[in-house]
């Protein structure tokens, strides 16, 4: 009875952990999508910075060439100032995007670690369930040995064996836990079933 209660408790824990595992996978997928978006934004900002830097360099050269012409120099200075401001804004946006991407990557790494821990917990719980199921089958076999009997008493002996073995087959074993899409499905043979079929 205690082993059956432990099995039910571990089944409950396994269900909860698998639900949490599914939620973590969904969160990881969403964060991965956001990380891709931030990476694209960062690339656009980087390209914009390169373009602006080229323009700034061109304007600096133009300013040096037109130092004698005040009006032309004044216009170039204004353009230079505007482009400098645009460059500063683009660099600030790039830094913010890099910081946000770094935060998302940290969150993804943490979720990946939690997924690994939950996967390990699931594997341990499934192994314990298999061990308990095997222990129940061994107990049933040891308490119900199949011994030769006289033809006149065969029916009553088989009935007693079937009844006794059936009492040691818990519902969890008769209906083994099936986890959809898992590589660690628990499949437990129904040890009492062959005896019931022979009685029929």
Q: List domains and CATH numbers for the chain.
A: 2-145 (1.10.287.1490)
Q: What is the DSSP string of 36-73?
A: HHHHHHHHHHHHHHHHHHHHHHHHHHHHHHTTT-HHHH
The secondary structure of residue 1, as a DSSP letter, is -
pLDDT tens digits, 46-98: 888 888 889 888 888 877 777 777 776 677 778 888 888 998 998 898 888 88
pLDDT tens digits, 156-188: 444 444 444 444 444 443 444 444 444 444 444
For residue 120, what pLDDT is reported? 94
Cα separation, 31 vs 8, in Å, equals 35
């Amino acid at each position: 009875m205690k082993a059956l209660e432990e099995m039910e408790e571990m089944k409950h824990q396994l269900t909860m952990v698998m639900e949490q595992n599914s939620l973590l996978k969904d969160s990881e997928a969403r964060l991965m999508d956001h990380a891709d978006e931030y990476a694209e934004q960062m690339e656009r900002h980087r390209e914009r910075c390169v373009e602006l830097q080229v323009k700034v360099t061109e304007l600096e050269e133009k300013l040096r060439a037109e130092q004698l012409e005040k009006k032309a120099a004044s216009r170039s200075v204004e353009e230079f100032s505007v482009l400098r401001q645009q460059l500063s804004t683009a660099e600030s946006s790039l830094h913010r995007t890099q910081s946000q991407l770094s935060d998302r990557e940290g969150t993804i790494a943490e979720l990946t670690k939690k997924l690994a821990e939950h996967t390990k917990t699931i594997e341990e719980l499934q192994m314990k369930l298999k061990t308990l199921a095997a222990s129940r089958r061994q107990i049933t076999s040891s308490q119900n040995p199949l011994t030769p009997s006289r033809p006149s008493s065969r029916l009553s002996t088989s009935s007693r064996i079937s009844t006794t073995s059936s009492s040691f087959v818990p519902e969890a074993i008769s209906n083994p836990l099936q986890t959809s899409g898992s590589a660690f499905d628990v499949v437990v043979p129904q040890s009492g079933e062959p005896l019931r079929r022979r009685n029929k």
